[in-house]
């Protein structure tokens, strides 16, 4: 498969796209099973041999990608004929590629909502403009590559297919960590991200599982995936959410390994700190992730008092009522789970952020100064390329804090155990995560 990125002079946008794609091809498992992948870039008006622009070199270098060796290619009919996908930065480039008989190979890159949009041209602008274009490209190139299995360009091969189903999924880190573990363990399997609509979730999930593979489910499909299972774990039944699926003897199973992911993170976060055996906890957020957190806290006897606060208070109240119904009485006794109208003045030992606030690198779900006293531990389920704002704030206040990366790895390790009945190779998944910038 040959993918050609096309812009005008081939000195900034398409070389940046090429650099991103070279890295993501392996992350998305596109080279597994003998798939041959060639990535290159060309310009409709390129001066052949021109180096990448300085702005493009700097923007990519900040992400550890190198464009030093880049030399422009001019778009020709021959390049078009040799390509399977011609991804254009603008409509003008697409028009030229169509004139050169590019036909159905020609496309504009899509944004996170799936809209075909032009990629902003930073040429001659300030460095921030190059950086912005680079970030745009990371999302759109990721989306393009994530879709290539679905479109039939890459073959899952004879090995088993593992997928993450959700929307959007182009930026999921799951392909990177699972493909790294599959490779190290010598498994004939590939893991890829499949953008999936709600209406097709059940069909795809069952088809992949019954073909001998499995996978994960992410936002917004975790709840509806439950209906496609024949055997749901206790965690799935109690949380109403499934994030991992596979089949055994023709029967589709599902689990919610976010619970195990949180449990491992909790134990690691509290280890070595002199805290009560069952501390007081404030959980912020009442979505799907909060369900996994509450299930773990209640069923493993981790907390004495659990206060649940959510922006939409009715949702927190409903969650409390839900857990009062589904938690066995012996597990519920000794805890006090209640929905609270405010976190101000509370004095929890541990704060858990289960909202999505901070996912874009901005915003705080609560003001730690508003608590009666700082908690000892903060667990933020959110993670990103940089330390989350809440973790930064907590660390500045001397609170022991960690973001959601550890939970991500631990839930992935637990998924691997569901699929293969053994631990993944030690340390491989964490090592495959991109470094966090501080
Ligand atoms: P979700 O079901 O969509 O719930 C989102 C939660 O965030 C709701 O409680 C929502 O409150 C709250 N929220 C959103 N925007 C807010 C704002 N501006 N101010 C205050 N509250 C806001 O999502 P989810 O599945 O629970 O996921 C939540 C987060 O956990 C995501 O960032 C996800 O990536 C992360 N997560 C991480 C892992 C991991 O392995 N590290 C695993 C699972 C989830 P309302 O009810 O008021 O809308």
Q: Give the Å distance between the CA of 378 and the centre of ligand 1.
A: 16
Q: What strands lie across the sheet with 85-88, from one edge to the other?
A: 38-43, 2-7, 85-88, 106-108
pLDDT reading at 334 higher than 70: no
Q: Counting atoms of ligand 1 from 1, which one is nearest the CA of 288?
A: 26
Fold classified for 160-256+411-418: Rossmann fold (3.40.50)
State the pLDDT confidence band at 196, using cuts at 50, 70 and 90.
confident
pLDDT reading at 157 higher than 70: no
pLDDT of residue 399: 97
Mutate to test the pocket of ligand 1, among 166, 256, 355, 358 (most ligand atoms within 8 A of CB): 355
State the pLDDT confidence band at 164, using cuts at 50, 70 and 90.
very high
Decide if 2-146 and 160-256+411-418 have a common fold.
yes
| pTM for this predicted structure | 0.80
Between 110 and 404, the higher pLDDT residue = 404
Q: Give the Å distance between the CA of 96 and the centre of ligand 1.
A: 44
Judge residue 188's burial from the number of C-beta atoms within 10 Å of its C-beta, 0-12 exposed, 13-18 middle, 19 or more buried. Answer: exposed
Lowest mean pLDDT across 67-81, 184-198, 227-241: 184-198
Say if residues 340 and 309 touch (Cβ distance below 8 Å): yes
**286 Cβ closer than 6 Å to some ligand 1 atom:** yes
Query: Mean of the pLDDT values across residues 387-404?
Result: 96
pLDDT reading at 50 higher than 70: yes
Q: Counting atoms of ligand 1 from 1, which one is nearest the CA of 411?
A: 40
pLDDT of residue 118: 93
CA–CA gap between residue 410 and residue 429 (Å, rounded): 9
User: Which residue, among 340, 349, 355, has the nearest Cα to 307 in the 3D structure?
Assistant: 340
State the pLDDT confidence band at 47, using cuts at 50, 70 and 90.
very high
Considering the domain delimited by 272-403, tell me its CATH architecture: 3-Layer(aba) Sandwich (3.40)
Between 17 and 23, the higher pLDDT residue = 17
Q: Give the Å distance between the CA of 285 and the centre of ligand 1.
A: 6
Between 212 and 350, the higher pLDDT residue = 350
**171 Cβ closer than 6 Å to some ligand 1 atom:** no
Q: Counting atoms of ligand 1 from 1, which one is nearest the CA of 312?
A: 47
Catalytic residues: 222
Between 263 and 158, the higher pLDDT residue = 263
pLDDT of residue 61: 93
Q: Counting atoms of ligand 1 from 1, which one is nearest the CA of 403?
A: 41
State the pLDDT confidence band at 155, using cuts at 50, 70 and 90.
low
Mutate to test the pocket of ligand 1, among 217, 282, 287, 291 (most ligand atoms within 8 A of CB): 287
CA–CA gap between residue 6 and residue 277 (Å, rounded): 59
Q: Please state which CATH class domain 2-146 belongs to.
A: alpha beta
pLDDT reading at 191 higher than 70: yes
Between 418 and 116, the higher pLDDT residue = 418
State the pLDDT confidence band at 156, using cuts at 50, 70 and 90.
low
Supply the mean pLDDT for the chain.
92
Q: Give the Å distance between the CA of 284 and the centre of ligand 1.
A: 9
pLDDT reading at 289 higher than 70: yes
pLDDT reading at 159 higher than 70: no
Lowest mean pLDDT across 41-45, 203-207, 332-336, 347-351: 332-336
Query: Mean of the pLDDT values across residues 393-414?
Result: 96
Lowest mean pLDDT across 200-204, 262-266, 365-369, 424-428: 200-204
Query: Mean of the pLDDT values across residues 284-291?
Result: 95
Backbone angles phi, psi at 423, to 5 degrees: -70, 150
Query: Mean of the pLDDT values across residues 150-166?
Result: 76
Query: Mean of the pLDDT values across residues 68-91?
Result: 96
Q: Give the Å distance between the CA of 20 and the centre of ligand 1.
A: 28
**355 Cβ closer than 6 Å to some ligand 1 atom:** yes
**407 Cβ closer than 6 Å to some ligand 1 atom:** yes
- Fill in the DSSP letter of residue 337: E
**357 Cβ closer than 6 Å to some ligand 1 atom:** yes
CA–CA gap between residue 373 and residue 44 (Å, rounded): 62
The residue extents of the domains of the chain are 2-146, 160-256+411-418, 272-403
Say if residues 81 and 26 touch (Cβ distance below 8 Å): no
Q: Give the Å distance between the CA of 287 and the centre of ligand 1.
A: 6
pLDDT of residue 330: 74
For the chain, what percent of residues have pLDDT higher than 90? 72
Lowest mean pLDDT across 131-140, 271-280, 331-340, 424-433: 331-340
**312 Cβ closer than 6 Å to some ligand 1 atom:** yes
């Amino acid at each position: 498969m040959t993918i050609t990125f096309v812009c005008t002079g081939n000195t900034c946008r398409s070389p940046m796209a090429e650099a991103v794609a070279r890295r993501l091809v392996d992350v998305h498992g596109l080279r597994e099973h003998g798939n041959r992948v060639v990535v290159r870039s060309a310009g409709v008006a390129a001066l052949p041999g021109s180096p990448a622009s300085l702005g493009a070199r700097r923007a990519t270098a900040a992400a550890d990608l190198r464009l030093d060796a880049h030399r422009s290619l001019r778009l020709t009919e021959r390049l078009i004929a040799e390509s399977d996908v011609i991804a254009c930065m603008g409509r003008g480039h697409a028009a030229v590629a169509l004139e050169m008989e590019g036909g159905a190979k020609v496309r504009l890159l899509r944004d996170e909502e799936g809209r075909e949009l032009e990629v902003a041209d930073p040429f001659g602008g300030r460095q921030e403009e190059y950086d912005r274009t680079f970030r745009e490209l990371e999302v759109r190139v990721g989306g393009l590559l994530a879709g290539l299995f679905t479109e039939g360009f890459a073959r899952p091969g004879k090995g088993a297919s593992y997928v993450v189903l959700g929307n959007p999924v182009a930026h999921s880190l799951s392909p990177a960590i699972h493909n790294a573990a599959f490779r190290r363990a010598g498994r004939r399997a590939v893991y890829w991200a499949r953008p999936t609509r709600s209406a097709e979730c059940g069909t795809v999930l069952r088809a992949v599982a019954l073909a001998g593979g499995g996978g994960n489910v992410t936002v917004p499909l975790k709840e509806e995936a439950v209906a496609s299972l024949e055997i749901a774990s206790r965690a799935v039944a109690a949380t109403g959410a499934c994030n991992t699926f596979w089949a055994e003897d023709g029967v589709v199973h599902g689990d919610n390994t976010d619970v195990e992911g949180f449990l491992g993170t909790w134990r690691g976060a509290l280890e070595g700190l002199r805290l009560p055996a069952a501390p007081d906890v404030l959980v912020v957020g009442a979505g799907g992730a909060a369900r996994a957190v509450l299930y773990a806290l209640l069923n493993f006897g981790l907390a004495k008092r659990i206060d649940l606060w959510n922006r939409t208070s009715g949702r927190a109240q409903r969650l409390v009522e839900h857990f009062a119904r589904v938690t066995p009485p012996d597990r519920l006794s000794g805890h006090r789970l209640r929905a609270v109208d405010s976190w101000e003045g509370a004095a929890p030992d541990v704060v858990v952020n289960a909202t999505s606030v901070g996912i874009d690198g901005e915003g705080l779900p609560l003001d730690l100064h508003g608590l009666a006293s700082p908690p000892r531990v903060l667990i933020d389920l959110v993670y990103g390329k940089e330390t989350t704002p809440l973790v930064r704030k907590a660390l500045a206040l001397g609170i022991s804090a960690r973001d959601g990366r550890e939970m991500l790895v631990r839930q992935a390790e637990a998924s691997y155990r569901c699929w293969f009945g053994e631990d993944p190779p030690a340390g491989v998944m964490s090592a495959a995560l991109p470094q966090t910038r501080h």
